[in-house]
Amino acid sequence: MLWLHIDRSLDISLKKQVYEQIRTRILQGELTAGYRLPASRELAIQLNLSRNVVIEAYEQLLAEGYVKGRQGSGTYVAPGAYLERDLKEQPSSFLETHRDEEKEKDEIDFRSGIPALNHFPKKKWGKLSKQVCEEASNADFGYDNPEGRSEFRHVLSRYLKRTRGVHCHPDQLIITSGATQGFSLIANLLLSPDDRVIIEDPITHEIQTIFSSSGATLYPVPVDEDGMRTDLIPVDKKPGFVFVTSSHQFPLGGILPIQRRIQLIQLARKLDTYIVEDDYDSEFRYDGEPIHSLQGLDPERVVYVGTFSKILSPSLRLGYLILPPVLTQQCRELKWFFDLHAPSLEQMTLSRFIHNGSLDHHIQKMRKLYVKRRKILKVCLKEEFGDRVSISGDSTGLHLIVEFKDVQFDEGMLSHISRYKVKVYPVELHSIQKGFHRKKLILGYGNLNEEQIREGICRLGQALHRL
Ligand SMILES: Cc1ncc(COP(=O)(O)O)c(C=O)c1O
């Protein structure tokens, strides 16, 4: 079937509408040489037109060489009627190229936030997916509720209570497409164009973009080695919310101490606002036990954002929000509006993966692997640069911060370094107020093996020594 749209209210003849639409599709390569156009009678019935209108349109296409008629066998798109578009260079996007295959071969990429992709538990996941698919009812293949599968939300709420100290009834959970969709839902739910968002500075520029695209103004609060400087939060105006990466500040890596957590909650109560807690990296804490969430201290004030991107795989696109009960219904409606619901089969597989203990096992295994990688990276940095560098923000997560005494990572420097086939990321990229973090790099090590880490730091050394 060929979908054409006929609009009788237009001041364009019906014949011309049929002709133009088919012609455009041929020129753009959508209908390729040899494609058989529907019989004129068939198309006329489909579009509720007289057959003569379609015949006339076909005749014009034939006369101009777009199609060929074969006696008795129909009308076909003629060869050579496709004009390749002269694509002008696209304006560069703030989004980076994400797929590994698209990166320059042999480049070592210290991008943060990527887990060890070759350690994804393929066998276990594959086995569970197969089970889920075979055992699912017919209804499971249909549409589901916007908040996500009930059994998944029950399993997840028990898991989060046990591991993150959150207080949450399954009804407070909305399953999202990663934390990123959670941020968009929150921005839609809580922000108006003239609102202010109190936000850590630096913080990932993706999050800055999401919040500011709602029209709200970002009010940056500096970060030190313990995370957000809660004493610098302004109290003159009620903000839309305060955003905090409490268990591992992104990117600097501080862990918000209990005193600051309490101060933050007191402030939120006083200003009658919410705290949005992004707990994206909490499971991989290497020195000491994981720290309990802010949400557990005041579930009425905190919207908690979580994701499976770091502990399993970003490709799953599974994350979640825990909302104060007053916000849940509105958020369900928004989620429906965004994309109806998260994929059901993945939720069912992940339910089983958590329920049978596989997630705990996987996290333990990965923690050991990341401890090793972190150690090698620190040793390599010290061997290569000695006292020129100091390392911080490494007690949790999949990256650390290295600060140089004598190098500023501006554009010129980064392009110089990239010639050595190593990719590094400056903290300054994520700064709202520029100029305070020019000497710092974020080095992600989650998805680099020992050899790549050694080689990557060696290349960085070559680049920086030869200045
Ligand atoms: C601070 C922060 N939070 C959350 C995420 C996770 O995003 P998602 O769950 O959409 O993959 C990221 C992505 O790297 C991040 O940097």
Taking the CA atoms of the chain, what radius of gyration do you get in angstroms?
28
Whether residues 56 and 108 share a domain: the answer is no
Q: Name the residue range of residue 19's domain.
A: 14-77
What's residue 246's pLDDT?
93
Residue ending a domain, choose from 290, 321, 356: 356
Report d(CA 333, CA 340) in Å as an integer: 9
| Structure tokens, 94 | 């703030």
| Residue 92 counted as domain residue | no
- How confident is residue 284, by pLDDT bands cut at 50, 70 and 90? confident
Strand partners, 221: 200
Whether residues 352 and 297 share a domain: the answer is yes
Is the C-alpha dihedral spanning 456, 461, 464, 467 positive or negative? negative
Q: How many residues does the chain have?
A: 467
Number of domains making up the chain: 3
Cβ burial, residue 300 (10 Å; 0-12/13-18/19+): middle
The residue type at 157? S
Tens digit of pLDDT for each residue in 159-204? Answer: 999 888 898 999 999 999 999 999 999 999 999 988 999 999 999 9
CATH code of the domain covering residue 281? 3.40.640.10
Tens digit of pLDDT for each residue in 82-137? Answer: 887 665 544 445 455 555 555 566 899 999 999 999 999 999 999 999 999 999 99
Whether residues 229 and 205 share a domain: the answer is yes
DSSP 175: E
Return the best residue to mutate from 206, 339, 427 for the ligand 1 pocket (most ligand atoms within 8 A of CB): 206
Contact 220, 433 (CB under 8 A): yes
| Residue 247 counted as domain residue | yes
Q: Compute the distance from residue 179 Cα to the ligand 1 centre, in Å.
A: 6
What's residue 373's pLDDT?
97
Whether residues 157 and 300 share a domain: the answer is yes
Residues with CB under 6 A from ligand 1: 113, 178-180, 204, 245, 250, 278, 280, 307, 309, 314, 319
CATH code of the domain covering residue 65? 1.10.10.10
Return the best residue to mutate from 175, 177, 180 for the ligand 1 pocket (most ligand atoms within 8 A of CB): 180
Share of the chain above pLDDT 70, in %: 94
What's residue 159's pLDDT?
95
Contact 255, 291 (CB under 8 A): yes
> Given the CA of residue 278, which atom of ligand 1 is nearest to it?
3
Specify the residue with its C-alpha closest to ligand 1, atom 14.
113
Mean model confidence pLDDT for the chain? 92
Whether residues 104 and 166 share a domain: the answer is no
CATH code of the domain covering residue 423? 3.90.1150.10
Is the C-alpha dihedral spanning 366, 368, 374, 380 positive or negative? negative
- How confident is residue 5, by pLDDT bands cut at 50, 70 and 90? confident
Residue 402 has pLDDT above 60, yes or no: yes
What's residue 442's pLDDT?
98
Tens digit of pLDDT for each residue in 18-64? Answer: 999 999 888 888 888 888 999 999 999 988 999 999 999 999 999 88
Tens digit of pLDDT for each residue in 312-343? Answer: 999 999 999 999 999 999 999 999 999 999 99
Whether residues 157 and 304 share a domain: the answer is yes
Nearest CA among 310, 254, 245 for reference residue 111: 310
